[in-house]
Amino acid sequence: MRIAIMGPPGGGKGTQAEILSEKFSVPHISTGAIIRAAIREKSELGIATEKYIAEGQLVPDELVIGMVAERVKDDDCKDGYILDGFPRTLVQAAAMEENDIKLDYVINLVVSDNVIIKRLGGRRECKVCAAPYHVDFNPSLKEGICDKCGGELIQRPDDVPETIKERLSVYHKETEPLIEFYKKANLLINVESCDGIEKTTEAVVQALGVKG
């Protein structure tokens, strides 16, 4: 099963990708998570990408394309993968073919800007293992502490109001055109992602036609 999950920032891509990754036993590949890990490690990729992320801009296409092309060659991807946050531009989508990054479905999570603004402000992430939380919709058992590893929960630097606004405008300009692109390619599945995590998962699973 090779799936890409797309949608606006804070649309629930990461959460749904993680659930599908467990369900199908294929890796969850989040370009955002790879980049944030690189920034934490201060690797070459991290140094090259830090300023884009902090400003809510997209990282240059060639960097992300290379990153994903390498990752899907790994052995654990032989039965498929769940791409989370890639592709995000028409250039990235077009580059997939020549880089042998194949897709069976593209799930587009549909969420209004108002809901996103509310969601992103409450989003938290484990500093250690990057597990996602939300203070209202998906709280950890103990406030500020990761359920999985005990790490500290922090707010991502790009989840502050000014950057959220910029990310949304980048989304509408750069990423939204992919909806039409994948509709034409007959790969697109639209799923409402406004009613909570479980309902969204149910809708995704139903749309994929697999058992829940």
Residue type, 5: I
> Is residue 164 involved in binding ligand ADP (CB under 6 A)?
no
Query: Considering only 27-35, 73-81, 145-153, 202-210, which stretch makes contact with ligand ADP by CB under 6 A?
Result: 27-35
Among 24, 86, 105, 182, contact with ligand ADP (rule: CB under 6 A)? 86
118's contact among ligand ADP, Zn ion, none, with CB below 5 to 8 A by partner kind, is none
Print burial letters for 15-53: b (CB count within 10 Å at least 16), e (below 16). Answer: bbbbbbbebbebbbbbbbbbbbebbeeeeebbeebbeeb
Dig out the tokens for 58 from the structure: 């997209």
Reduced to 3 states (helix: H, G, I; strand: E, B; else coil), residue 108 is strand
Give the one residue of 16, 31, 193, 200 binding ligand ADP; rule: CB under 6 A: 31
Q: Which two tokens stand for residue 178?
A: 């992919």
42 within 8 A of 31, measured Cβ to Cβ: no
Residue 131: which of Zn ion, ligand ADP, none does it interact with, CB under 5 to 8 A by kind?
A: Zn ion
One residue of 90, 91, 128, 145 binding Zn ion per CB under 5 A? 128
Number of residues interacting with ligand ADP: please give it, by CB under 6 A: 21
Nearer to Zn ion, 148 or 172 (CB): 148
Catalytic residue numbers read 13, 88, 123, 156, 167
For residue 5, what are its two tokens?
């999950």
Binding to ligand ADP, residues 64-83 (CB under 6 A): 64
Cα–Cα dist 131/116, whole Å? 19
Provide the minimum distance between the beta carbon of 212 and ligand ADP in the complex, in angstroms, as a whole number.
25
The answer to whether 132 contacts ligand ADP (rule: CB under 6 A) is: no
Nearest to 175 by CA among 7, 2, 35: 7
User: Can you tell me which residue has the tokens 């629930």?
Assistant: 12
- Interface contacts to ligand ADP, rule CB under 6 A: 9-10, 13, 30-32, 35, 52-53, 56-59, 64, 85-88, 92, 158, 167
